[in-house]
Amino acid sequence: MARTRRIVKAATGTALAVLLAGCSGAGSGDGAGKDDGHSMAIATAAEVPYLNPSNDNGTTGIQIESALWAPLTRVDAKTGKLVNVVADSVTSKDAKTWTIKIKPGWKFTNGEKLTAKSFVDTWNYTAYAPHAFANNGAFQRVEGYEDLNPAKGKPKATTLSGLKVVDDLTFTVTLKGAFSPYPTTLSYLGVAALSAETLKDPDQFKHKPIGYGAYKLDGGWKAGQPVRLMRNKDYAGKDAPQADHITFRFFSNPETAYNEFLAGNVDYVAVPSSKIDSYKTDAPGKWSQAKAAAGINYLNLPVTLKPYTDTRVRRALSLALDRDSLAKLKPGNFPATSFTAPSVDGHRENTCSDCRLDVARAKKLLREAGGFPGKLRLFFASDNPGEQVYAEALGNMWRQKLGLKIQYVGKPGAEIGPLANAGKLDGIRIMGWGHDYPALEDYLTPMFASYGDVNTGRYRDAKVDRMLGEANAQVDQAQATRDYQAIEDRIAEQMPVLPLSHSRDVYLHAEGVEPLNAPFANVDPVRSTFAD
Amino acid sequence: MSDTALATAATAAELEPVGEDSPRGAAVLRELLRKPRFVLSALAILVIALMAAFPRLFTATDPTVCDLKLSKGAPSAAHWFGYDIQGCDYYANVIYGARPSVLVSVSVCVVGFAVACVLGMLAGYFPGFVDSLVSRTADVLFALPGLVAMIVILQAFSSRSVWTIAFVIVLLGWPAGMRLMRSTVLSVRTREYVLASRALGAGAQHILRVHILPNSVAPLLAMTTLTVGAAVGTEAALTFLGIGLQPPTISWGLQIAIAASYRDDVHLFLFPALLLTITVMAFMITGDTVRDALDPKLKR
């Protein structure tokens, strides 16, 4: 069952993996649109092999696709309120059957009209297991999902029984159970629509995306080359960003991107960990910090393996960490004391009673549990100097405070994720998670549900699963929040992951380019504003 | 003609120190000790070797006692080199960092010398199949771009130690020494004393050991001393690139790699780089002077 949905915002635990390069015309090495309007060059850390929002859950890809497509709904970064983009209305009487109306006048860049059928066809295609699309899991709440994704054997159906086209611009979605925050989940780009032409053979359109967003491809694109975008004149939305041309460039090493910024070739960049002492002097007056701390950095434990099966061991590991000192190793980080992100409604501080330094208690718990036999294996991305330093800092604390033997396992960052997804990590992994839609639920489900997308430690608690189901069905929002908080309290008793820090990412931006920086979402350089 | 040659060779063997092909040990040493360049660099090597073997002679501090609160502390009277990013005493870490460098260089030197010597002698003395086999293998390895090939091979190891790195350096490094050895053996094997020995019925093993080896080893020896410095540099370079030694090993390459990212704390970069430079230079200069002494023909 392909349940992977949206991958970790900061899988390697560094500051936002997306490095942005903006350019207001002058100084950019990019020829695009020098004389007509504002242009930006956006550089990203990871190379994007193809562009398809239904089959992409990496931060970088989703960011580019968010310029090429548009979501049904969006959480306004400034107010935190849900606003409609492509959707005209999303309504339900019982939180189980939802009616989605889309606005008229939207069309794909190939001329096709965007209709209710576009969505239903795309969703059916994505939810069908043999297609192996990355955002398959986004539809696991829809009725009939199991028929398309059986645990064994061939799927019984090719379409979700819960999806029905009513008319050209209206369709209904029937969920397996009531789920009141459903409209918020529609802000995730993984549920955008593909054109009928694309759905006939998606492989043909991997490098020729047909969207309906504020931008479209400027010329051709081949994997590995920069992605050049130009304004889509037919964009039907009212929220088009200011930039007329955007170019995404790829830098595998975050420090290279940083140096490109200093050289003036790049106008927006996230500050890598290793530049924590220097960015203020390197780029005076050009650095800013995100207003939102929309994410959590934590350690993923292989809770099905000994000795991590013992809660006391997990709590001891957590109590031996000096989070204040650890947070100082990363730009904009501050210690975490709970399992959700501060930018999310319903977030509480201090829910994690073991997220503090108490060596005496840690030793006592470890002794009661019978110690830690063998070596503790700690995985880190060997191509990221900042993460190596971070891993050593963690290891030093456990080694010196609890007397554990540490084995550092360095692997290229791109290899660790697939290993973890295959359940082959026999040690601790440094991770980060940022929500797809701002909700407590989007931390609890992916990280702790037995079917959670980033629950690579294979934590499984029947009661958590059941409580999640009940909270999801709760129509009263205030009560739902209380239910989710109760789930977090139960998780805090078990410590399947060790929260480390939240971050308000630090970034550099060129003069005259102001990326969207608001309290309810991560910094978004695509939606930059220009001074002139 | 051949009689005279034989006689000369015999006299030469009796009349030290002037050998026919190369000068002998004591004389070499006497000549070397007269050179301040050699004495200074040999002293530096001695100190580094002591550092590697007995780091406690230089520091009483445990390099693994770290406190993150002291991260990147500047040098002070009590902590000469300051603290590293992990908050460990940097002086102790730099001292302990000598060991991998010395281990790699010494093992590369010894094993590499042995491999090149044996294969070179075989290739030079047995023309035909053996020569072709060894020489063509060497050609193949020569064709590989050194550092890239090392990176590719090292990627295959899930965990890497000093020994894996030494192994890879030797694996890709022996052809150079082998070729040198082979060419000297080729010139020696047709000498009159070798022919004479063969005429008297000596076996290949005897000839190789008694006549060929002592009279052809000097250039290889000189070259090997030069490669020691290069091996130290290669180890540091591989580690710097992230495919050499891994934490928690303490090594100059690792220290420099981290310091290069955090280059605003200059002391983190300065001290390991300084020691690495001194070590490589000391080995290079020693090698240079030794080569001059062993191989007078190269002297200007």
Write the DSSP assignment of A322-387 as a string of letters. -HHHHHTTSTTEEE--SSS-TTSTT--SS--TTSS--HHHHHHHHHHTT---SEEEEEEETT-HHH
Q: Which residue has the tokens 């980033």?
A: A454
Enter the DSSP assignment of B75.
P
CB contact under 8 A, A393 and B257: no
Q: CA dihedral defined by A152, A154, A158, A161, rounded to 10 degrees? A: -40
First to last CA, chain B: 31
Using 70 as the pLDDT threshold, list the residues of chain B that sit under it.
Answer: 1-24, 295-300
What's the mean per-residue pLDDT of chain A? 85
Hey, is A484 helix, strand or coil? helix
Within 32-91 of B, beta carbons closer than 8 Å to A belong to: 64-66, 68-69, 71-72, 85-86, 88
Of B249, B273, B244, the closest CA to residue B259 belongs to: B273
Q: Are A382 and B86 inside 8 Å of each other by CB?
A: no
Tens of pLDDT along chain A (532 residues) come to 333 333 333 333 333 333 232 333 333 334 343 445 788 887 777 778 889 999 887 778 888 999 999 999 998 888 888 899 999 999 999 889 999 999 999 999 999 999 999 999 999 999 998 998 888 888 988 999 989 988 788 898 999 999 999 999 999 999 988 888 899 899 999 899 999 999 999 999 989 999 999 999 988 888 888 899 999 999 998 888 888 998 888 887 788 888 888 998 888 888 888 888 888 888 888 888 888 888 899 999 999 988 999 999 999 999 999 999 999 888 889 999 999 998 888 899 999 999 999 999 999 999 999 989 989 999 988 777 788 889 999 999 999 999 999 998 888 777 887 788 787 888 999 988 888 788 898 899 889 988 787 888 889 999 999 998 888 877 778 888 999 999 999 999 999 999 999 988 888 888 888 888 888 888 888 888 888 7
Using a CB-CB cut-off of 8 Å, the residues of chain B touching A255 are 261
- Residue in chain B closest to A382 (alpha carbons) equals B242
Q: How many CB atoms lie within 10 A of CB A304?
A: 12
Q: Do B153 and B168 touch, CB atoms closer than 8 A?
A: yes
Please, are residues A492 and A498 in contact by the beta-carbon 8 Å criterion? no
* Pair type for strands A39-44 and A245-250: parallel
> What confidence tens digit (pLDDT) does each residue in A488-506 have?
999 999 999 999 999 888 8
A456-484 tens-digit pLDDT: 888 999 999 999 888 887 777 888 899 99
How far is it, in rounded angstroms, from Cα B206 to Cα B202? Answer: 6
Which residue among A382, A385, A396 places its CB closest to the CB of B258? A385
Residues in CB range of A83: below 8 A, 6 or more apart: A73, A74, A75, A76
Of A274, A281, A329, the CB nearest to B261: A274
Report the greatest alpha carbon distance in chain A.
71
Q: Nearest chain A Cα to B70, which residue?
A: A325
Query: Touching check for B157 and chain A: CB below 8 Å?
Result: no
Residue A175 is classified by DSSP as: B
Which residue reads 């530096």 in tokens?
A: B44
Unique residue bearing structure tokens 């489900």: A445
Nearest CA in chain B to A324: B69
- Taking the CA atoms of chain B, what radius of gyration do you get in angstroms? 23
B156 in reach of chain A (CB within 8 A): no
Distance CA B130, CA B38 (A): 39
Instruction: Categorise residue A103: left if φ over 0, alpha if ψ from -120 to 50, beta otherwise.
Output: beta
CB atoms within 10 A of CB B73: 18
Threshold 0.80, pTM exceeds? no
- Say whether A328 and B247 touch across the interface (CB within 8 A): no
Quickly count: other Cβ atoms within 10 Å of residue B200's Cβ.
7
